[in-house]
Structure 1
C-alpha cells in the first residue's frame, strides 16, 4: 500500500513539472526563432525599408533583441543628423517652388512683345510646377499691385485659419477706416455691419471688394503684420502701404511674387489640405477672366467664346485674380493642364490711364505661353 501511495505521489508531481518544462522549452524555442528572425530583418530595419511594431520602437528594446545587429547612433552621428535636418527640410521646401530650366524662347518672346510698346512697363513670370521649367521677364521688379495683391492677402488670412486663431465664420465689423471705394458692395453697408469671414474672403476675390480686403488686412494684424509675413514667405516685392483701393499704386508686388504665393498654396507647403481647398474654391469665384484666361485661350486657338468654358472644353482651368487701377493692370493664377500638370503665371503692366494697350499686352503675354503648356501626348498602347 505504501508503494502504491508513492507511485501516485510521484505521478502527481510529474504532471506539473512536465508542463512547466514544456512551457520553458516552448518559450526558449520561440525566443530563438524571434531573435533569429529579427536579426535577419535588422539590415532592412536599419535602412528603414520596413518598420517594426510600436511596441518594438524603443531603441533599448531593439538593441536587447537584436544585439549588435542594430547599433544606436553614435553621439557624433546624432549631432550630424541634428545639424542636417533643417537643411534637408529647407531643401524640400525650396523644391516645391524650384525654377530649374528656363524656357528661353518664351522669355525672349515676352521681351519682343513688350518692346513693341515702349511707353508701357511690363513684368511676366511662368513656372510649370511639375518639372521646374520657367520663363521670366523683369519678373522680380516691384510694380503697382492694384487688386492682384489680394491673392497673397488671402494666403495670409488662411494661415491664421490653420493656426486656429481665426474661425471661418468669425464675424468682422466694418469700421469707417476700413471702408474702401471702388469695386465691391460692402462699402454701401452701414458702419458697424458684420460679415462672416468666409463671405469677406470670397467677396475680396469674387468681385474684388476693396472694403472686404481692408477687413482682411485688419483681421490679419494690420499692414505691418501682413508685410512682415510676406517677407517671411520670400515675397520681397509684395508690400501693402495703403488701404484699398490704393488708386495711386503705392501697394506693390511682382510677377514672380504673385506666382510664388499661389505655388506655395498649391504645393501644400503652407496650408493644410482643408485651407488649401478653401483657397482654390475662393479663387475659383473670380468673375473677371478677360486677361490671363482669355489670352491663354487665344494662344491655344479654337473657339473664342467665354474663356472659362472654352478652356474647360480643352481640359484647362485657370484660378486667377486680376488688378486694375487704370494706370496699372495685373493678373496671376494657377493653371491646370489637361494632362494633370499645373503651372503658375503672373503678369503686370503699367502705362497711361485706361490705355487698352495695357490689357492687350497681358493677353499677348499669356497667349505666348500657350504652346509651352500643351499636354504631353499619351504614348500609343502596344
Structure 2
C-alpha cells in the first residue's frame, strides 16, 4: 500500500530527466569512440591508404590528432584552384633545352645569364643558373604587382583608391606620372597599369610606398618564396641594386596563374594589366623567331600562330630581363624568365635573351594530333538467290 502511494506521488519531471541523462551519456561515448577512430584514421588517410567520402574534410581528421589548442586548417579557394590548374612544381628536366641554353651563354664569356622555363601543366622544365640573383631592372615590377593584388584580396587596398604623388615617389626615366604636379592623385588601377604598360617608374614608387615601403615589400617577397627578389632602391635603379632571379620571376607569375596566391578576380586583373605591356622584342620576339617568324612582324603575329605572351621586360643598360606567361595553342601554359648582365648597352645581351627564347620553340609547339583511323568498310553480302 505504501509503495503504491509513493509511486503515485513521484514528481512528473523525473522520467524526462533520466532520459536526458542517458542521451548525454550516449553522446559522450560516441564522441570518444569517434575521436579515437579519427586519430587512428588520420595517418592512413594522409598516406593514401584510406579513401574518404568527398564531404569529409581531411583537415578535420588532421585536427583530431593535433595537440590541444591547435585549430585544424580549413581548405581555401586558392588551394582548391591550384589543385585543378596545376602548381609551380618541377618534375622532369628538358635536358636538351638546358644544354642549349648553357651553350648559348658559354659563347659570350663576359655576359652573365639566368634562365628558367616551366610547363605548368606537366611540370617539365629547363634551367640555366635559375637562382642566381642579378639586377632586376623593371622586371621587378611584376612581383610588385603581385603583392599589391594580395592587399586588394585582403581588403587592405581598393582598386580605385587614390595614390598621391610626393617628392619621394617621383622617379625619372620611363613613364609620364613624374611630369605631373606634386599632390596629383591617381587611382590605384591606373598606377598599376602604367607601371606595366609603359614601365612608369613613378607609378612603381607609388605602389612601393602604398604596400608599406621597401622593407615590408621585401618581407612579402620572402614569404612568397622569392628569395632572390629584393628592392633596395626607389626606381629608376640604374645601378642594378634591386635584384631577382629567373626562377623568382617565373614563380611570381605562376603563383598567380595556378591560383596558389590570388583570388580569381585578382588573377584576372593581373592578366589584364600584364596584357597591356608594350615591349615584345625580347621573350615574345625570340619565341616568334623560333616558330619561323621574321623580326619586325606585327605584334599580333604570335596570336595568329595561336600563342599569347603576357610579359614584362627590364632594361638598365648593364642588365636586361624579360619574363612572362605563355599560353599555348593547345590550351596549356608555361612560364619563362631570362636575365642577362653585361657591358653597358651591349646588343649581345638582348640577342642572347632572344636566342634563348627562340630555343624554347620546339618544346612549346603542340604535338600534332594522332591521325584518325578511317573505319573499315565491310563489303555488302551478296544477295541471296
Normalising by the residue count of structure 2, what TM-score does the alignment of the two structures yield?
A: 0.78
Deviation at 1:310, TM superposition (A): 1.0
Q: Is the 8 A contact 2:79 2:259 kept in 1?
A: no
Query: What is the match of residue 302 of structure 2?
Result: 311
Query: What is the match of residue 329 of structure 2?
Result: 338
Query: What is the match of residue 278 of structure 2?
Result: 287
Matched, 1:233 2:224: yes
Structure 1 unmatched runs, 5+: 1-59
Query: What is the match of residue 247 of structure 1?
Result: 238
Query: What is the match of residue 175 of structure 1?
Result: 166
- Select 2:198's aligned residue among 204, 207, 216: 207
Query: What is the match of residue 5 of structure 1?
Result: none
**Following the alignment from structure 2 to structure 1, what is the Cα–Cα distance between the partners of residues 298 and 107?**
26
Q: Please give the per-residue CA displacement for 1:140-187, whole angstroms capped at 9, x wherever unaligned.
A: 000000000000000000011111111101000000011000000000
Q: Is the 8 A contact 1:297 1:307 kept in 2?
A: no
Deviation at 1:309, TM superposition (A): 1.1
| Structure 1 residues 1-382: aligned runs within 5 Å | 72-73=34-35, 74=37, 76-77=39-40, 81-82=61-62, 96-306=87-297, 308-382=299-373
Q: Which has the higher helix share?
A: 1
Deviation at 1:78, TM superposition (A): 7.1
SS at match of 1:176: coil
Q: Is the 8 A contact 2:79 2:260 kept in 1?
A: no
Q: Is the 8 A contact 1:294 1:307 kept in 2?
A: no
SS at match of 1:349: strand
Deviation at 1:82, TM superposition (A): 1.7
Deviation at 1:77, TM superposition (A): 3.4
Deviation at 1:129, TM superposition (A): 0.2
Q: Please give the per-residue CA displacement for 1:42-65, whole angstroms capped at 9, x wherever unaligned.
A: xxxxxxxxxxxxxxxxxx9xx99x
Q: 1:158 to 1:87 in 2, by over 3 A?
A: closer
SS at match of 2:270: helix
SS at match of 1:239: coil
Deviation at 1:306, TM superposition (A): 3.3
SS at match of 1:237: coil
Q: Is the 8 A contact 1:289 1:307 kept in 2?
A: no
Q: 1:291 to 1:167 in 2, by over 3 A?
A: same
Deviation at 1:305, TM superposition (A): 4.0
SS at match of 1:77: helix
**Following the alignment from structure 1 to structure 2, what is the Cα–Cα distance between the partners of residues 194 and 88?**
39
SS at match of 1:165: coil
Q: Is the 8 A contact 1:303 1:310 kept in 2?
A: no
Query: What is the match of residue 47 of structure 1?
Result: none
Query: What is the match of residue 45 of structure 1?
Result: none
**Following the alignment from structure 2 to structure 1, what is the Cα–Cα distance between the partners of residues 88 and 99?**
22
Q: 1:367 to 1:86 in 2, by over 3 A?
A: farther
Q: 1:87 to 1:255 in 2, by over 3 A?
A: farther
Q: Please give the per-residue CA displacement for 1:272-291, whole angstroms capped at 9, x wherever unaligned.
A: 11110000000000000000
